[in-house]
C-alpha cells in the first residue's frame, strides 16, 4: 500500500512540475513576442536627407546680370549649396580679381526664405585656378576678407558691395552712411546679411578695415567712434 501511495505521489509531483514548466515557457515566449513587435514597428526609416543640396549647372543663374552667368557656371561646384527645403539661391557677381595665381570671385547670395519681398543677400568668396575652384566662405559669417586676400583687393570688393547696395536700395545706403557718419549703433562686416550692415546697438559702430576704406573711397565721412570689431 505504501509503495502504491509513493508511486501516486511521484506521478502527481511529476504532473505538477510538467505543468509549471509548460506555463513558464509559455510566459517567456509570450513576453519575448511582445518585446519584438514594438522594435519592428518603431524601427526608424533609413533616409539620406541632407541639410544642403548642391547647385546644378543649370541653376547657377545671376540674379542681376545675365552676362556673368558663364562665370557662375564655371565655378558652380564651389557655389554655396541650397539649404534643405528652400529654393535654389540666386547669385550676383560683384567683382573678380586676379591674385596669387588665381581669380577671386566675390558674389552676393540671395536665399528666398518665403517671407515675401526680395531676399537679403550675404556674400561668398570663391577662388578659381584654371578649372579648379574652392569656396572660401560657404555660409554667412562675420569675418574680414583680409583673411583670404590682401587689403587692396578686400577694399575693392567692399567698394563693389556698397556700390551694389546703393544701386539696389538707395534708401538703405543713405541710412547706413548717416549712421556711420554719426557713429551710431551699427555693425558693418562683410559676408553678413543686408550687405553686412545690420544694426548693433550693443557694440556700436564697428567696421572692418576694408569697409572703412571702401566707404571713405565712396566719399563717406566715417566717424571716429567707429572701431574695428573686437570679437
Give residue-wise pLDDT tens across range 116-174: 656 778 999 999 999 999 999 998 888 899 999 999 999 999 999 999 999 988 998 99
Residues 62 and 130 in one domain: yes
Residues 149 and 216 in one domain: yes
What does the pLDDT average to over 176-197? 61
Residue 188 confidence (pLDDT) above 80? no
Give the end of a domain, one of 112, 140, 168: 140
Which pLDDT belongs to residue 205? 81
Total domain count, the chain: 2
The burial of 41, by beta-carbon neighbours within 10 Å (0-12 exposed, 13-18 middle, 19 or more buried), is given as exposed
Residues 133 and 57 in one domain: yes
**pTM of the shown model:** 0.71
Residue 36 confidence (pLDDT) above 90? no
CB proximity list for 97: less than 8 A, separation 6 or greater: 103, 104, 106, 149, 153, 156, 157
What does the pLDDT average to over 24-36? 41
Residue 10 confidence (pLDDT) above 70? no
What does the pLDDT average to over 29-53? 44
Residue 195 included in any domain: yes
Which pLDDT belongs to residue 51? 86
Residues 124 and 57 in one domain: yes
Residues 76 and 118 in one domain: yes
Residues 166 and 219 in one domain: yes
Residue 17 included in any domain: no
**What is the Cα–Cα distance from 96 to 113, expressed in whole angstroms?**
28
Residue 106 included in any domain: yes
Residue 50 confidence (pLDDT) above 80? no
Residues 134 and 146 in one domain: no
Residue 89 confidence (pLDDT) above 60? yes
| pLDDT grade for 203, boundaries at 50, 70 and 90 | low
Residue 101 included in any domain: yes
Least confident of 110-114, 148-152, 157-161, 198-202: 198-202
Domain hosting 75: range is: 52-140
Residues 119 and 153 in one domain: no
Residues 83 and 95 in one domain: yes
Give the end of a domain, one of 140, 165, 189: 140
- Smallest CA-to-CA distance from 82 within 106, 59, 63, 62 is with 59
Residues 119 and 158 in one domain: no
Which pLDDT belongs to residue 186? 55
Give the end of a domain, one of 106, 140, 174: 140
Amino acid at each position: 500500500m505504501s509503495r502504491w501511495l509513493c508511486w501516486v505521489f511521484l506521478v502527481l509531483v511529476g504532473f505538477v512540475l510538467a505543468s509549471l514548466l509548460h506555463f513558464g515557457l509559455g510566459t517567456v515566449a509570450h513576453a519575448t513576442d511582445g518585446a519584438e513587435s514594438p522594435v519592428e514597428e518603431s524601427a526608424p526609416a533609413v533616409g539620406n536627407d541632407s541639410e544642403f543640396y548642391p547647385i546644378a549647372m543649370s541653376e547657377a543663374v545671376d540674379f542681376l546680370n545675365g552676362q556673368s552667368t558663364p562665370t557662375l557656371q564655371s565655378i558652380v561646384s564651389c557655389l554655396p549649396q541650397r539649404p534643405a527645403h528652400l529654393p535654389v539661391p540666386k547669385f550676383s557677381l560683384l567683382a573678380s580679381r586676379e591674385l596669387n595665381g588665381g581669380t577671386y570671385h566675390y558674389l552676393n547670395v540671395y536665399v528666398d526664405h518665403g517671407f515675401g519681398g526680395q531676399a537679403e543677400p550675404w556674400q561668398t568668396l570663391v577662388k578659381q585656378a584654371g578649372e579648379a575652384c574652392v569656396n572660401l566662405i560657404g555660409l554667412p559669417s562675420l569675418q574680414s576678407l583680409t583673411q583670404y586676400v590682401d587689403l587692396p583687393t578686400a577694399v575693392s570688393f567692399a567698394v563693389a558691395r556698397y556700390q551694389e547696395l546703393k544701386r539696389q536700395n538707395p534708401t538703405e545706403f543713405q541710412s547706413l552712411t548717416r549712421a556711420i557718419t554719426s557713429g551710431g549703433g551699427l555693425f558693418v562686416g562683410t559676408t553678413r546679411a543686408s550687405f553686412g550692415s545690420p544694426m548693433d546697438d550693443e557694440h556700436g559702430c564697428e567696421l572692418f578695415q576694408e569697409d572703412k576704406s571702401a566707404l571713405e573711397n565712396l566719399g563717406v565721412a566715417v566717424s571716429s567712434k567707429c572701431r574695428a570689431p573686437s570679437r
